[in-house]
Structure 1
Amino acid sequence: MAGKHKRIRGLHCPDPLRSRIAHMSSVREGRFHTVDVSRISPRPAGATLLTSDGVRIEALYEPCTSGPTGTAVVVAHGFTGSVDRPAVRRAARAFSRYAGVVTFSFRGHGRSGGRSTVGDREVLDLAAAVEWARSLGHTRVVTVGFSMGGSVVLRHAALYGARMHEGRTEARTDAVVSVSAPARWYYRGTAPMRRLHWVVTRPAGRIVGRYGFRTRIHHQDWDPVPLSPVESVPLIAPTPLLIVHGDRDPYFPLDHPRMLAAAADESTTELWLEPGMGHAENAADEALLRRLGDWLTGR
């Protein structure tokens, strides 16, 4: 986000490491409003999740189609997406062959409350979804994010990971996949990103976002600027990390995934550069989704 707007309090990360997330702790009781989901239930179940800063988030759980499993995949969509977008539903169907799947709409998107902060406080939305997956009985929860969601899963894995919590938080992820994510904030090097910045930072652009893309965008700027994706990846290890990027991505060129991979722990990180792939969930075909499912479940 950019522009001379009144500033919004962000999720900053002052030293020491443990103090970076002290203000993000949340109450685990009474935050999930849903019918109990039995492992034998073959049908999706909807829920309203309450984030630690009080935003209501719509979410959907789909059991694994191949039988009970201890693993759940939490899918984080891109900017202007939502739980009911076709590309999100296609990804959910693909992953449900391997594990239970949680999809949700970030704040300001779909039927969720609040307004989008374009990757900052969305970390709290993802944390609530991961906690919900664990509350349903899954002992291993992994995250997959696309574009804005890709930056969110990186920041979430850093802020809630074993390095800061010693593996005790219910909001932690056990593996993370980031697809088509930016490495750094305020990037305007491509025409699509220049248009996106106009939508986010200009009053007229936010009207277009609200009525044209069904996305309600916060008018305030970040204060402080949140930990960037490239600053986050060194904090993710020992959690396994997969970075995926298309060589025809019109938003972020290949220096973004390469920068992320270079900053990460090479012993726990993989980089897939996909020939002919465009951007985010819309460009993720069935073959790639199957490969992601295999990687996430260790097949």
Structure 2
Amino acid sequence: MGTSRAGHVARSTVRPDSETSRDVRLRTFLYTDDGVSIDSVYETSGVVYDSSRPPSRDLVFVIAHGFTGDLDRPHVRRVAGALARHGAVVTFSFRGHGASGGRSTVGDREVLDLAAAVGWARELGHARVVTVGFSMGGSVVLRHAALHGGADAVVSVSAPARWYYRGTAPMRRLHWLVTRPEGRLVGRYGLRTRIHHRDWDPVPVSPVAAVPAIAPTPLLIVHGDQDGYFPLDHPRMLAEAAGEHGELWLEPGMGHAEHAADDALLARIGEWGARRSG
């Protein structure tokens, strides 16, 4: 496994062309602007392509996983495999997750992790970058697009609209996990997620406040009508803030984030990203 300095990533000699795009796999540590190492993978392999619809050579999806995930988790790998039918894929583990360094700030400084991954995708020669985030990652892709730019289209799945929401039992459990010392121990040893002990200072801009600044970049908001974490007022708030440049899919019977996104939905997301990022 190599290392490269990102935000300002080292240039790669590998380019996703027609000769190599089906079997390239690179794994490296990127470095964020605040010096955190981020375990990252670029790949165009591992799936059987539909020969009638070959993946775009200039398109890459950068996947931002949910809280307690990492790039090696089966549900993240499944998302990567589905989107790889439409283009190359970059997966990475947020700070405090998996083999990445640092501690999770639960959506705040994670925008720097995503910025490093998007920068690496550009260094690899891709003209079109679509960021796809789930739950915490869904909030990160929104804030990244507003604060850093760099994406040609943005997909946010199962994201919160506002911070400190405790209106459902899963979110009350999550707040215990993040705010209590014993909860952070459970996160570290039970969920393999290292959580920072400090409160946000200052409180980062919320997803719904960030959304208007994404325009005119195309934005897709996806949410299940059976989401146990965030009820439907969250995606509706995001869609209203997005205005004409946003699109809302409310998915019947869908629960929360990667685990609830079936292959048919992931295929539609891939098709949307390929179409709207051009």
TM-score under structure 2 length normalisation: 0.90
Residue of 141, 144, 149 corresponding to 2:132: 144
Identity across matched positions, percent: 69
Question: 5 Å matches for 1:7-26?
Answer: none
Give the number of equivalent residue pairs.
262
Q: Which amino acid letter does the alignment assign opposite residue 84 of structure 1?
A: D
Equivalent in the alignment of 1:269: 246
SS at match of 2:244: coil
Q: CA deviation at 1:35?
A: 8.0
Equivalent in the alignment of 2:211: 233
Q: CA deviation at 1:276?
A: 0.2
- In structure 1, C-alpha distance between the alignment counterparts of 2:227 and 2:182, rounded to whole Å: 27
Moved more, 58-67 or 35-44: 35-44
Give me the CA root mean square deviation: 1.8
Question: 5 Å matches for 1:1-299?
Answer: 29=8, 31-32=9-10, 36=14, 39=17, 40=20, 42-63=23-44, 65=49, 66=54, 69-161=57-149, 172-264=150-242, 266-298=243-275
Q: CA deviation at 1:43?
A: 3.5
| Change over 3 Å in CA distance of 1:213–1:27 after alignment to 2 | closer
Equivalent in the alignment of 1:12: none
Q: CA deviation at 1:268?
A: 1.1
Deviations 1:163-194 (Å, cap 9, x if unpaired)?
A: xxxxxxxxx11100000000000000000000
Q: CA deviation at 1:114?
A: 0.2
Deviations 1:249-295 (Å, cap 9, x if unpaired)?
A: 0000000000111111x221100000000000010000000000010
Q: CA deviation at 1:28?
A: 5.3
- Where does structure 1 lack aligned partners over 5 or more consecutive residues? 1-25, 162-171
- In structure 2, C-alpha distance between the alignment counterparts of 1:277 and 1:226, rounded to whole Å: 29
Runs (4+) of structure 1 moved beyond 3 Å?
26-29, 31-39, 64-68
Could you tell me whether the CA contact under 8 Å between 1:73 and 1:142 is conserved in 2?
Answer: yes
Deviations 1:38-79 (Å, cap 9, x if unpaired)?
A: 541503211110000000000011127546611100000000
Could you tell me whether the CA contact under 8 Å between 1:61 and 1:101 is conserved in 2?
Answer: yes
Q: Which amino acid letter does the alignment assign opposite residue 125 of structure 1?
A: D
Q: CA deviation at 1:36?
A: 4.2
- In structure 2, C-alpha distance between the alignment counterparts of 1:245 and 1:258, rounded to whole Å: 9
Could you tell me whether the CA contact under 8 Å between 1:80 and 1:109 is conserved in 2?
Answer: yes
TM-score under structure 1 length normalisation: 0.84
SS at match of 1:123: helix
- In structure 2, C-alpha distance between the alignment counterparts of 1:293 and 1:255, rounded to whole Å: 25
Q: CA deviation at 1:129?
A: 0.2
